[in-house]
Amino acid sequence: MGVFSVSQSPRTITSGHQRFFLLAEEEAIFTLREPRYSSIIAESASHRFTKSDTKTYYRKDPVKYALGEQEHAPRESLVRVSDDWQFFWVSREWMTTQFDRHRFKDGQLVCHFRNDYELTRKDCLIKNHKKAKKFAGANSPHMDYLPASYVLPMEYHLFVEEFRKYNSDTMWIMKPVSGAQGRGIFLFKKLKDIQEWKKKGRSTDSVTQPYVVQTYVCNPYLIGGKKFDMRLYVLVTSFRPLNAWIHREGFARFSHSRYSMDSCEDAFVHLTNVAIAKAATDYDPERGLKWSLDRLTRYIAARHGHATVRRMLDNIANIIIQSLRSVQNQIMQDNHCFELYGYDIMLDEHLKPWLLEVGYF
């Protein structure tokens, strides 16, 4: 039995030993077993992207020329990349400078949509979620997956107005809009605690670095006294119509230290990023701080029952579908593009999932 199950009579796509289940025509969320995404596209989606008797060619270098066998070979050893490829793992820079100039052949794919940042930048994620929530209705249960969120400095005055409506003990978290690996994140309870952040932008002629501020989920579900979040991989092959595939093999990342609200400055307590945990003097790389998604769901099922796990996974699937729908009309659809997203999701003590952020690769 896979981690993600299907509750209705689905259409089934079979490719070799793989079986994929279609949940809905428009959402097209699939369950996957194959951990290699080049194989996912080549095998499971062969009916759309490649012919079954066609060999798959994969390029990783995101520039016009590829190096020979030496990763840092001298300039004279550069060789031209053949146009005989199907998958090109390109960089954001390549999408900006080369995509519109490249003449694609039928069946050729690159790993980004041109404006995928509409979902992966935290400020854009919040902006699009607010628009979608307003359209769906402020009290729509399907859109209740982000904590109260504001983009600073643009929404600073709105944030201050809302801040005063909350209990004085409410914890807030600040994150840079395009940060990664936990860099630049801090927690606070009082407005004066973010004055230093505001002053940084005024110390020079540069604009204050944009941040997002959110109410902190202070009641996380704990295992062994530690908080954790889940990383789920979602492959989007089209936004119009919306076709998304979810991988069965996600994982959970645990904080380095046991959870406590006694200190809001201890990153080892509040953040689950591996880059943060590795900085601890007693970090054990052999032991690690990860569980497979299968192990996590088995643990929760043992404590709360299989029905609770199914309900939790249904709620996570809703987050994925609704977040993709929120940017569906913003993303520049192109049949030569796909996107592999990393969804970071956290559970509170009631096993309600919250979306933390969406990454890209």
Interval 21-31: pLDDT, tens: 333 334 333 33
Contact call for residues 100 and 316 (beta carbons, < 8 A): no
Q: Indicate whether 330 pLDDT > 90.
A: yes
Residue 97 lies in a domain: yes
Supply the mean pLDDT for the chain: 77
Contact call for residues 279 and 193 (beta carbons, < 8 A): no
Encode pLDDT of 156-212 as tens digits.
999 999 999 998 889 999 998 877 766 788 888 888 887 766 666 554 545 567 899
Which of 145 and 178 is assigned the larger pLDDT?
Answer: 145
The domain containing residue 154 runs over which residues? Answer: 148-216
Encode pLDDT of 48-80 as tens digits.
333 333 444 555 543 333 333 334 433 333 334
- pLDDT computed for residue 267 by the predictor: 81
Share of the chain above pLDDT 90, in %: 45
Helices 306-326 and 122-136: crossing angle, nearest 10°?
100
Considering the domain architecture, whether residues 103 and 152 belong to the same structural domain is answered as no
Backbone angles phi, psi at 110, to 5 degrees: -120, 160
In angstroms, the Cα distances linking 327 to 73, 143, 223 are 41, 13, 34
Residue 244 lies in a domain: no
Contact call for residues 222 and 208 (beta carbons, < 8 A): no
Most confident by average pLDDT, 200-209, 285-294, 327-336: 327-336
Q: What is the mean pLDDT of residues 315-333?
A: 95
Which of 99 and 28 is assigned the larger pLDDT?
Answer: 99
Residue 196 lies in a domain: yes
Considering the domain architecture, whether residues 104 and 152 belong to the same structural domain is answered as no
Backbone angles phi, psi at 342, to 5 degrees: -115, 110
Domains contained in the chain, number:
2
Q: What is the mean pLDDT of residues 85-104?
A: 89
Q: In what order do the strands lie in the sheet with 109-110?
A: 58-59, 87-88, 109-110
Band of residue 302 on the pLDDT scale cut at 50, 70, 90: very high
Q: For 328, which DSSP code?
A: T
Burial bucket for residue 341 (CB in 10 Å: 0-12, 13-18, 19+): buried
Encode pLDDT of 246-280 as tens digits.
888 899 999 888 998 887 777 877 887 777 776 67
Which of 136 and 196 is assigned the larger pLDDT?
Answer: 136
Residue 93 lies in a domain: yes
H or E segment and range at residue 342? strand 339-347
Encode pLDDT of 222-242 as tens digits.
999 999 999 999 999 999 999
Residue 112 CA to its chain's centroid (Å): 14
Q: Is the dihedral of CA 242, 248, 249, 255 positive or negative?
A: positive
- pLDDT computed for residue 78 by the predictor: 32
Q: Indicate whether 220 pLDDT > 90.
A: yes
Q: If we measure between CA atoms, which residue out of 224, 248, 249, 244 comes closest to residue 341?
A: 244
What pTM value is reported for the model? 0.79
Q: If we measure between CA atoms, which residue out of 148, 299, 308 comes closest to residue 222?
A: 299
- pLDDT computed for residue 25 by the predictor: 36
Burial bucket for residue 323 (CB in 10 Å: 0-12, 13-18, 19+): buried
CATH number for the domain harbouring residue 155: 3.30.1490.20
Q: Indicate whether 325 pLDDT > 90.
A: yes
Where does a domain end: 179, 195, 216?
216
Q: Indicate whether 146 pLDDT > 90.
A: yes
Where does a domain end: 94, 110, 126?
110
Considering the domain architecture, whether residues 96 and 160 belong to the same structural domain is answered as no
- For 184-236, the three-class secondary structure string (H helix, E strand, C coil) is CCEEECCHHHHHHHHHHHHCCCCCCCCEEEEECCCCECCECCECEEEEEEEEE
Q: Indicate whether 112 pLDDT > 70.
A: yes
Q: How far apart are CA 348 and CA 356, in angstroms?
A: 12
* Partners of 79 in beta bridges: 66
Encode pLDDT of 35-53 as tens digits.
333 344 333 333 333 333 3
Residue 103 lies in a domain: yes
Q: How far apart are CA 190 and CA 296, in angstroms?
A: 35
Residue type, position 69, single letter: E
Q: How far apart are CA 344 and CA 327, in angstroms?
A: 17
